[in-house]
């Protein structure tokens, strides 16, 4: 059972865990789907957070809600599996057996724990799935954030984002768990996922927009260009094989450079940009 958390304790532990993972308030806000101001407010312990907020923050930090209550809060029950072991088991079973055919009992068995231990960390199979998808989206945003922090040149920023996106889809099986119609995510979680997906795409479009203004990119329709590039990156897992002649790193480097050349315009020179297309 999750321990009760106080306003002061959550604020102090939240800041401690965030800093331990090298995250800024902005990074954590993006992961959790909150505003920067709200994260700052929580860390100052101005407003007692509701239980749902504590759970969302815990998911974003890959810890159990109890971890926000203080150092003594355990992450396992009677030596059972931790949160990460359960998520790893879920990725494996969801990938091979499918979401619908995977039972809680099977998940607990694969993770090496009891169902009671599993329920200590997650309320349902659905929550486990949503956590995995949220983690995959976090990784995409991390690539975007890193590109903006490390580079000033839009071309370098875009190449880094494309490279990271490709690596994720070749090495992280959880990014392939969603079906074409987003099953099994539904309701509020689906709305939040679509909002985050669109926000990520807008972030990439902003890079392209700056590149066009600076003369680094020459595209007629920034929105189409970005969507085509993202689709190419996302589809790489359909044909990439770890046993093939090229490593994931080599494929990512060659593909990102190929896509970047398309944004540069090659020998076709500057084209007129429809400003509305990259909004």
1 domain-assigned: no
2 domain-assigned: no
Q: What is the pLDDT of residue 47?
A: 52
76 domain-assigned: no
User: Do residues 28 and 146 both lie within one domain?
Assistant: no
Q: Distance between CA atoms of 248 and 241, rounded to whole angstroms?
A: 8
Please write the tens of the pLDDT for every residue from 9-66.
678 888 888 888 888 888 888 787 777 777 888 888 655 566 667 777 877 887 767 7
Domain that holds residue 234: 127-278
Q: Distance between CA atoms of 234 and 58, rounded to whole angstroms?
A: 28
Average pLDDT over residues 98-118: 94
User: Do residues 30 and 101 both lie within one domain?
Assistant: no
Q: What is the pLDDT of residue 1?
A: 37
Instruction: State the Cα torsion 50-52-57-61 to the nearest 10°.
Output: 140
* Domains: count for the chain: 3
pLDDT-based confidence at 266, cuts 50/70/90? low
Q: Phi first, then psi: what are they for 69, rounded to 5°? A: -90, -15
103 domain-assigned: yes
Q: What is the pLDDT of residue 49?
A: 66
Q: Among residues of the chain, what percentage have pLDDT more than 70?
A: 84
Q: b/e map of 144-160 (b: 16 or more CB within 10 Å)? A: bbebeeebeebbebbbb
182 domain-assigned: yes
Q: What is the pLDDT of residue 135?
A: 85
Please write the tens of the pLDDT for every residue from 242-257.
999 999 999 999 999 9
User: Do residues 45 and 59 both lie within one domain?
Assistant: yes
Please write the tens of the pLDDT for every residue from 184-230.
999 988 998 999 999 999 999 999 999 999 999 999 999 999 999 99
User: Do residues 103 and 155 both lie within one domain?
Assistant: no
* CATH at residue 235: 1.10.357.10
* CATH at residue 65: 1.10.260.40
Q: Distance between CA atoms of 208 and 206, rounded to whole angstroms?
A: 5
More confident residue, 277 or 16: 16
More confident residue, 79 or 128: 128
Q: What is the pLDDT of residue 167?
A: 94
* CATH at residue 105: 1.10.10.60
Least confident of 62-76, 129-143, 152-166: 62-76
Give the residue among 271, 170, 167 at the shortest CA–CA distance from 217. 271
Round the average pLDDT of the chain to a whole number and report it. 84
């Amino acid at each position: 059972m999750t321990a009760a958390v106080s306003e002061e304790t959550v604020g102090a532990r939240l800041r401690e865990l965030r800093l331990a993972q090298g995250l800024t308030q902005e990074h954590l806000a993006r992961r959790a789907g909150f505003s920067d101001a709200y994260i700052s407010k929580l860390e100052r312990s101005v407003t007692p957070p509701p239980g749902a907020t504590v759970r969302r923050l815990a998911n974003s930090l890959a810890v159990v809600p109890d971890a926000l209550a203080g150092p003594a809060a355990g992450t396992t029950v009677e030596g059972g599996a931790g949160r990460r072991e359960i998520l790893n088991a879920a990725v494996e079973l969801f990938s091979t057996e499918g979401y619908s055919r995977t039972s809680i009992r099977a998940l607990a068995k694969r993770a090496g724990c009891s169902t009671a231990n599993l329920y200590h960390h997650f309320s349902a199979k659905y929550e486990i799935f949503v956590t995995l998808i949220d983690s995959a989206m976090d990784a995409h945003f991390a690539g975007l954030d890193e590109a903006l922090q490390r580079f000033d040149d839009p071309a370098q920023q875009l190449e880094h984002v494309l490279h990271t996106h490709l690596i994720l889809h070749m090495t992280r099986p959880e990014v392939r768990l969603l079906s074409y119609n987003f099953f099994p995510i539904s309701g509020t979680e689906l709305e939040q996922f679509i909002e985050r997906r669109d926000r990520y795409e807008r972030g990439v479009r902003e890079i392209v927009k700056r590149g066009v203004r600076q003369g680094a990119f020459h595209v007629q329709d920034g929105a189409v260009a970005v969507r085509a590039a993202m689709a190419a990156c996302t589809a790489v897992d359909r044909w990439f094989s770890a046993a093939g002649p090229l490593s994931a790193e080599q494929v990512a480097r060659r593909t990102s450079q190929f896509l970047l050349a398309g944004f540069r315009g090659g020998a076709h020179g500057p084209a007129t940009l429809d400003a509305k297309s990259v909004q």
